[in-house]
Amino acid sequence: MLEVRDLHAQYGDSRVLFGIDLSVPTRGGVALLGRNGAGKSTLMKSLLDAGPQSRGEVMLNGQPLAGLPTEARARMGLALVPEDRRIFTTLTVRQNLELAWHAAGKDRPRMQVAEAVALFPMLATLLDRLGYQLSGGQQQLVAVARGLMASPRLLMLDEPAEGLAPKVAHDLAREVHAARDKLGLTVLVAEQSIAYARQCTEYVYLLDSGALVFSGDWAAFDANPELKTRYLAV
């Protein structure tokens, strides 16, 4: 579904990504691991052309994205749930969800709020709550649901488990996995938390200082315990 070849990215003169090659198969779940500052967010933002300057080849379902602005990429089915979640604190959860329709234009099919609730039943009791009244886990759930409102094909989650208690993160990862199966979604998950990433993906890319240092399935990742200590330990 997504093919990335020789992707470089920078902010002004500061170079962050150095020739990334990466593939995400249709309906697959791919984890992008790496410690703080490794370049995970920069990679995701580059795929959407939202922030860093980048060069290299990015293809979505065989279509090159070069030269297309963020809105066009969103209309083609790319969605990003950012690390800071960006829930509108003075709007209700329902309004937060509905706002996501506008972001992707009118071409893409829309998920109705009732469908989002069917997918994530916990949302039912939250719809009339204001953003600031939500816990961190509830905010993340709303952010994921909002990411799905324009029916993306590829959902990118940037550090979804950050700041969440392990049990809350675990439940959320389970919800994401179930949503993946029900919607036939493809997901790319940037994480420092191996436990979370493992629950909703099958394949792993490990990023360090803007370059890939490992790619393989979880069994191959586990067979190299030094990867954890060398590239992920804090």
Ligand X SMILES: Nc1ncnc2c1ncn2[C@@H]1O[C@H](COP(=O)(O)OP(=O)(O)OP(=O)(O)O)[C@@H](O)[C@H]1O
Smallest separation, CB 9 to ligand X (Å): 8
Q: Does 160 bind ligand X (CB under 6 A)?
A: no
Smallest separation, CB 73 to ligand X (Å): 18
Query: Amino acid identity, residue 156?
Result: M
Q: Does 16 bind ligand X (CB under 6 A)?
A: yes
CA distance 219 to 203: 9
First and final CA of the chain: distance in angstroms?
33
Contact 119, 145 (CB under 8 A): yes
Q: Which stretch binds ligand X (CB under 6 A): 9-17, 92-100, 135-143, 216-224?
A: 9-17
Q: Does 42 bind ligand X (CB under 6 A)?
A: yes
Out of 29, 30, 40, 160, point to the residue binding ligand X (CB under 6 A).
Answer: 40
Smallest separation, CB 148 to ligand X (Å): 22
Smallest separation, CB 108 to ligand X (Å): 27
113 SS3 class: helix
Q: Which stretch binds ligand X (CB under 6 A): 11-19, 126-134, 166-174, 195-203?
A: 11-19
Smallest separation, CB 40 to ligand X (Å): 3
CA distance 97 to 99: 5
DSSP letter (8 states) at residue 133: G
Query: Cα 79 from chain centroid?
Result: 7
3-state secondary structure string across 174-223: HHHHHHHHHHCCEEEEEECCHHHHHHHCCEEEEEECCEEEEEEEHHHHHC
Q: Does 156 bind ligand X (CB under 6 A)?
A: no
Nearer to ligand X, 33 or 123 (CB): 33
Out of 4, 7, 33, 38, point to the residue binding ligand X (CB under 6 A).
Answer: 38
Going by C-alpha positions, the residue among 160, 118, 134, 121 that lies closest to residue 29 is: 160
CA distance 80 to 88: 16
Nearer to ligand X, 116 or 161 (CB): 161
Please report, as ranges, the residues that interact with ligand X according to CB under 6 A.
11, 14, 16, 34, 36-42, 83, 159
